[in-house]
Amino acid sequence: MGTYLNPGNSGFTRIRNDTYVDKSGLISCINESIETPRNLTCVSRPRRFGKSFAAQMLCAYYDKTCDSSKLFDDLAIATDRHKNGSYRQHLNRHDVIYLDMTYVRPFTDDFRNLVPYISKKIMEELKEVYPSLKDSNELPSMLIEAAEAAGNRFIMIIDEWDAPIREKPEIQKPYLHFLRTLFKSSSTTSRIFAAVYMTGILPIKKDGSESAISDFEEFTVLKPGKFGSYLGFTEREVQKLCQDNQCDFAQMKQWYDGYSFRDVGSVYNPNSVMKAIRNHDFDSYWVQTSAAENLMEYISLDFDGLSKAVAELIGGGRVKVDTKRFSNDLITFRNRDDVLTLLIHLGYLSYQEESGEACIPNEEIRLEFSNTIRSVNRKETIRRVRESDQLILDTIRMDAEAVAAQIERIHEEEAPLYYHNEQSLRSVIKRAYFSCGDEYVLFEELPAGVGFADIVYLPKKNSPLPALLIELKWNKTAKSAMEQIRNHHYPSAIQKYGGEILLVGISYQKDAPPGQRKHTCIIEKSQL
């Protein structure tokens, strides 16, 4: 058992010793690619979405120096009978090369000596296992000879493949050249590798308009394809976890759902779900990851429309994003779309492929945005935060005139052209209250009494603020909104939280007489 060659199954054994959600079906996807032109796979996903768990699982399955039957015989992969990759055909039958790029960083002078270090270490371990190999200064040549000596081609697994590019952009050129020498030449690659699996946060770096390592099939959070159900926990998996651990599924969904992939549906952040279950507490665990460190840097960039887009997102809205021109790195930004595309890859935003729109996926991430936005040093952003804070204060003070006036200003400044229904009014309201994330959890279309309450801001635990139940009316009166709240018994849906409830009716009248405000507001205390 080596460090880089055939690392064994101890990593996956440790994972199986804890609560484990079966993601072994991913192995079938790799087995199907073995010895085909599609045998180079790169799967990118955000931090804390199970990248290392998947890499450890693949090592345990393929490594021929151990017996992993007991780890896999009770998992989904054990039923796989694909003609090119049945379960037993590849279980512990290959030499495995495993590289965790975050692990090697301390030994490579902060990635500066990455390529010579990796080459040297792999060749040393190859010589230990296959002493008859000729001495060589070229890793590909020795790998070819080793594959012939072993009688099988290698499975290579690279975890956090993009860490060197993210952390040390200046070493990008030699690092990509190293990867090209292994994976660009079809004749060399086919003699060495049965399959390669790379995982990271970013897609493969572009060289001009094309991928720098073009032979890889890529699966990203934008287009996860057949790997969609392995990029996080599915809704069914989370429901079972909640059932097994007596955990409130509705709150779990509110806090950690929001990512959605075609043919998969809802996908949850695995790290946050498991921490919520173990801690018996719904909170933002995202801040405890390194992914949260640079959010302020990105949303502070000075691009036209970025500040407005962030306010729209924090308010619960969606924004169009052109993801096609992103350069797949952390330094090349040309416009707000590049910034928003990066936030999608980092997991701060979820992306709807069909509509081309992005949104903040859940309460956990919205809280991070709300906390971060107050530190952004841009005048426009600071103004938006102050205005939203004042609007919340005016609402709590039951100053309906001030609330209506502020919403009118936001409508005149930012509202979409087609402001002609309650949905577009809802967008403006959420944008106006976007700094609520500090103290409130946002619910939309909350089942309440007879019907659904439009918008509910429910105070977070230990907050002294009242709940806000907001009903919207388009081309009707604020009075009719208030009547609907009372007649349909909307406050009954949230009375169990135990605090004060403010009822807020907001209307927009398109044909209001000249000189009169188009938005009106009524605020009352609930009499429950």
For 386-416, what is the HEC assignment?
A: HHHHHHHHHHHCCCHHHHHHHHHHHHHHHCC
What's the burial of 418, exposed, middle or buried (CB within 10 Å: 0-12/13-18/19+)? exposed
Instruction: Give the count of beta carbons closer than 10 Å to the beta carbon of residue 232.
Output: 31
DSSP H/E element including 219 = strand 217-219
CA 209 distance to own-chain centroid: 25
Instruction: Give the count of beta carbons closer than 10 Å to the beta carbon of residue 527.
Output: 8
Asked whether the beta carbons of 173 and 17 are under 8 A apart, the reply is: no
Average pLDDT of span 459-482 = 87
Closest CA to 512 of 481, 475, 471: 475
Least confidently predicted of 52-56, 157-161, 516-520: 516-520
Cα separation, 72 vs 60, in Å, equals: 9
151: confidence class by pLDDT, cuts 50, 70, 90: confident
* pLDDT score of 196: 96
Percentage helix, strand, coil, to 5, in the chain?
A: 45, 15, 35
* pLDDT score of 432: 81
* pLDDT score of 489: 83
**First and final CA of the chain: distance in angstroms?**
68
Average pLDDT of span 281-286 = 85
Least confidently predicted of 146-150, 151-155, 490-494: 490-494
With a cut of 50, say whether residue 417 has pLDDT above it.
no
DSSP for 487-500, written as a single string? HTTGGGGTGGG-S-
Cα separation, 515 vs 528, in Å, equals: 37
Tens of pLDDT, residues 422-469: 667 777 787 788 777 667 888 887 777 667 778 888 888 778 889 999
Cα separation, 127 vs 139, in Å, equals: 12
Give alpha helix (H) positions in 134-221. Answer: 139-150, 163-167, 172-183, 186-192
Average pLDDT of span 219-246 = 94
Q: Name the E strands within 286-372.
A: 319-320, 350-352, 357-359
What are the boundaries of each domain within the chain?
10-230, 233-373, 379-525
CA 231 distance to own-chain centroid: 9
- Is pTM beyond 0.75? Reply is yes
- Specify the CATH architecture of the domain 10-230: 3-Layer(aba) Sandwich (3.40)
Identify the bridge partners of residue 319 per DSSP, sorted by sequence position.
358
3-state secondary structure of 40: strand
* pLDDT score of 291: 46
Gyration radius (Cα) of the chain, Å = 27
Average pLDDT of span 351-373 = 87
Asked whether the beta carbons of 165 and 198 are under 8 A apart, the reply is: no
Identify the bridge partners of residue 505 per DSSP, sorted by sequence position.
471, 522
The answer for residues whose C-beta is within 8 angstroms of residue 77's C-beta and 6 or more apart is 24, 25, 27, 28, 61, 87
* pLDDT score of 485: 86
With a cut of 80, say whether residue 515 has pLDDT above it.
no
Cα separation, 131 vs 142, in Å, equals: 12
Q: At what angle do helices 306-314 and 379-396 cross, to 10 degrees?
A: 30
